[in-house]
Amino acid sequence: MTDRAPARLAATRADPDAAPAHAPPLFAKDAHGGLLLGGEPATALASRIGTPLYAVDARMVRERVTHVRKLLPDGVRLHYAIKANPMPDLLHLLAPLVDGFDIASAGELQLALDAGHRGADLGFAGPGKRDDELREAIGAGAVVNVESPGELARLAAIAQDSGRRALAALRINPDFELRQSGMRMGGGAQVFGIDAEQVPEVLAAWPSGLDFAGFHIYAGSQNLNGDQVADALRRSHALCARLASSAPAAPQVFNLGGGLGIPYFAGEQRIDTAPIASAIASIAAAHRHAFPDTALVLEMGRYLVGEAGVFLTRVLDRKRSRGREFLVCDGGMHQHLAASGNFGQVIRRDYPVWLARDLRAEPNTAFTVCGPLCTPLDVLAREALLPDDVQPGDVLAIGQSGAYGASASPAAFLSHPAAGQLLV
């Protein structure tokens, strides 16, 4: 009995009680286990450029786009949603790899044009577009994804005023939800899009001066369930097909959205893309017969770039307070709001945190990782497991930080310098 006890204890520890781990990083490591970014040790990069620093690995972005392309039959188009990460160097990398950009402001329109996509390869969504933004979109020949009957009328008036035809698609608020999404943007009452049941009536009164471009559906973001994303794509296509019978002209495009998530927190797994591939294959096969002149578009942001980026921050201080170990860093919530849990999280959970000089060292000590701000909100991780020899001067890397990083953070808060951003 006593002989057996330790073995049983070990067995219990090995499985279910063990704290769930984060999905393993996809980055390369050097011979000492050090994190490599674009082939350079992250610690060297941090010294050369300075911290805090966002670094996005170009090779990993290319690999992820290649993976997504393999899921899509020939002719299905892939758009990148700029709001995930608008860094110009990243847009230049992505421009030739994708078929278009989704933009959500005149600022993003300019970034897209600068990176080399134009005209109908740009889809402009967003619930509140200013008149000057609509005018610029018309001038650029972008597809305006119209989100309300009022916006449709405003677009028609601006088009008439400027003496140019505008390309308008209707963004539909579907009569279904993308379940278990981190952010739901369709189904029920929404600020986004026109309720599906109102769409036939809007189509019946289509304003002259607007060219009908098609439909756009975006049901939600950050979903890790491949079956659910596949199901939403099937339902989105069926809804577009049904509404097309009321359209004033043959649709040029059905934009079916995306919603593929990445694993941010312990216990989350990478999304299984096999059900998505098979759903798109069957959608595309039926689509070719019924709508030979209508392009199919999928759009995604974080799935293309989120896992390829890290946030590098240097430890300024290590201290102990009433039994808890703290690391105080030079980067914080003002540069990485999402890691602090204040960007749409309901229950605060930790992003993965790695010791950049050695990803293989045993993570045996729990640290609370804080930024430099004078506010208790500035916590980058509450219970980061790291090796116990972390010291001031060490560089920490926060993973899954390639999307919704710098551009989604309140950089002016407390007047610290902005984080650097680099494609490597």
Phi and psi dihedrals of 100, rounded to 5?
180, 175
> Which residue has 């759009």 as its token pair?
299
Helix 274-290 vs helix 226-244: angle between axes, to the nearest 10 degrees?
A: 10
- Kindly tell me the sign of the dihedral angle through the C-alpha atoms of 373, 379, 381, 386: positive
Q: Please count the residues of this chain forming the interface with ligand PLP, following the rule CB under 6 A.
A: 15
- Residues in region 275-304 near ligand PLP by CB under 6 A: 299-303
Closest CB to ligand PLP among residues 151, 330: 151
Q: Please report whether residue 178 would count as binding ligand PLP according to CB under 6 A.
A: no
Which residues make beta-bridge pairs with 55? 310, 422
Residue nearest to ligand PLP (CB): 301
d(CA 236, CA 255): 9
Q: Please report whether residue 405 would count as binding ligand PLP according to CB under 6 A.
A: no
Closest CB to ligand PLP among residues 170, 355: 170
Closest CB to ligand PLP among residues 41, 261: 261
Residue 192: which residues within 8 A CB-CB, separation 6 or more? Answer: 125, 127, 147, 171, 173, 185, 186, 218
Q: How many residues does the chain have?
A: 424
Closest CB to ligand PLP among residues 269, 365: 269
Closest CB to ligand PLP among residues 259, 372: 259
Token pair of 412 as six digits: 């002016």
Site string for ligand PLP, 211-250 (x = CB under 6 A): -------x--xx----------------------------
- Kindly tell me the sign of the dihedral angle through the C-alpha atoms of 342, 346, 349, 352: negative
Q: Single out the residue of 100, 187, 214, 258 in contact with ligand PLP (rule: CB under 6 A).
A: 258
Token pair of 389 as six digits: 């020899």
Closest CB to ligand PLP among residues 125, 369: 125
Which of the stretches 57-65, 78-86, 156-164, 314-322 binds ligand PLP when contact is defined by CB under 6 A? 78-86
Q: Please report whether residue 68 would count as binding ligand PLP according to CB under 6 A.
A: no
- Kindly tell me the sign of the dihedral angle through the C-alpha atoms of 96, 99, 105, 110: positive
Q: How far is the CB of 292 from ligand PLP (least distance, A)?
A: 26
Q: Please report whether residue 403 would count as binding ligand PLP according to CB under 6 A.
A: yes
Q: How far is the CB of 68 from ligand PLP (least distance, A)?
A: 11
- Is 123:169 a contact under the CB 8 Å cutoff? yes
Token pair of 343 as six digits: 């960007």
CA-CA-CA-CA dihedral for 91, 92, 94, 95, to nearest 10: 100
Q: How far is the CB of 84 from ligand PLP (least distance, A)?
A: 4
Q: Single out the residue of 36, 37, 81, 230 in contact with ligand PLP (rule: CB under 6 A).
A: 81
Q: Please report whether residue 102 would count as binding ligand PLP according to CB under 6 A.
A: yes
Q: How far is the CB of 41 from ligand PLP (least distance, A)?
A: 29
- DSSP class per residue in 166-201: EEEEEEEE-SS--TT-SEE-SSSS-SSSEEGGGHHH
Contact residues: ligand PLP, CB under 6 A: 81, 83-84, 102, 125, 218, 221-222, 258, 299-303, 403
